[in-house]
């Protein structure tokens, strides 16, 4: 049965939150605030928080900077996952992935379906691993951020979660990079 093993220590992660919006400021950013509050309440550290416009280069540049920062374990973006012309977050972020996390989108849509029905198909939520950093691309609504955090991320970013979680595999995320260096 999945759950939290209280006999294990909690391992706090350093998580950066990026909001993609042409119209919001940090003060008006309810989705980013939702994520920041939830991750801190869980015991994690908010490594950084920013807002960028719906621009591929701006989004990619900010996420790349956090991926390159050894002090950032996880990046969560919110916004820009729809189908309008300005929704370009998956296009900006997915090329950075070394490995895609297909299951994240499937589980996110399953949780979302229970709340908003077939409207969940209007989101292109995605996730992957870039180097040694987990990256999650969420829709821009506070509800979607709550669903992703409460239903997936709060568990997978908790070392105590059983039967498995992302934290326990973090030390091995760069194995492919080490193998490549040895072959060169």
Instruction: Report pLDDT digits (tens) over 163-182.
Output: 999 999 999 988 766 655 54
In a domain, 32, yes or no: yes
56-96 pLDDT tens trace: 999 999 999 999 999 999 999 999 999 999 999 999 999 99
H-helix segments, 43-83: 56-68
1 assigned to some structural domain: no
User: What element of type H or E holds 42?
Assistant: helix 30-42
Quick one: which of 162, 160, 112, 165 has its CA closest to 134? 165
Is the pTM here over 0.85, yes or no? yes
15 touches 49 (CB < 8 A): no
b/e sequence 150-169, b meaning 16+ C-beta within 10 Å: ebbbbbbbbbbbeeebbbee
Give the chain's domain count: 1
The answer to whether position 127 is within a domain reads yes
Domain membership of residue 2 (yes or no) is no
**Residue ranges making up the domain that contains 114:** 12-183
Q: What CATH number is attached to the domain comprising 62? A: 3.40.980.10
pLDDT at 151 over 80: yes
Q: At 74, is the secondary structure helix, strand, or coil? A: strand
Per-residue pLDDT band at 183 (split at 50, 70, 90): low
The distance in angstroms from the start CA to the end CA of the chain is 44
**Could you tell me which residues are beta bridge partners of residue 76?**
17, 136
The mean per-residue pLDDT over the stretch 119-148 comes to 97
Q: Which residues, at least 6 apart from 49, have a Cβ–Cβ distance to it below 8 Å?
A: 16, 17, 18, 19, 26, 32, 36
The answer to whether position 4 is within a domain reads no
Q: Which residues contact 69 (CB under 8 A, 6 or more apart)?
A: 47
- Is residue 158 a contact partner of residue 167, using CB atoms and an 8 Å limit? yes
Question: Quick one: tokens of 7?
Answer: 């006999």
């Amino acid at each position: 049965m999945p759950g939290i093993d209280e006999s294990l220590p909690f391992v706090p992660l350093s998580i950066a939150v990026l909001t993609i919006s042409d119209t919001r400021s940090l003060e008006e950013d309810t989705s980013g605030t939702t994520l920041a509050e939830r991750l801190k309440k869980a015991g994690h550290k908010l490594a950084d928080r920013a807002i960028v416009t719906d621009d591929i280069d701006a989004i990619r540049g900010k996420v790349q900077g956090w991926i390159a920062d050894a002090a950032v374990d996880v990046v969560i973006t919110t916004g820009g996952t729809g189908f309008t012309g300005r929704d370009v977050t998956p296009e900006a972020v997915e090329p950075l992935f070394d490995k895609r996390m297909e299951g994240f989108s499937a589980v996110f849509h399953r949780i979302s379906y229970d709340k908003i029905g077939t409207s969940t198909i209007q989101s292109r939520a995605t996730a992957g691993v870039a180097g040694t950093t987990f990256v999650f691309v969420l829709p821009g609504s506070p509800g979607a951020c709550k669903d992703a955090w409460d239903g997936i991320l709060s568990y997978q970013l908790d070392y105590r979660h059983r039967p498995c979680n992302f934290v326990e595999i973090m030390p091995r995320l760069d194995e492919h990079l080490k193998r490549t260096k040895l072959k060169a």
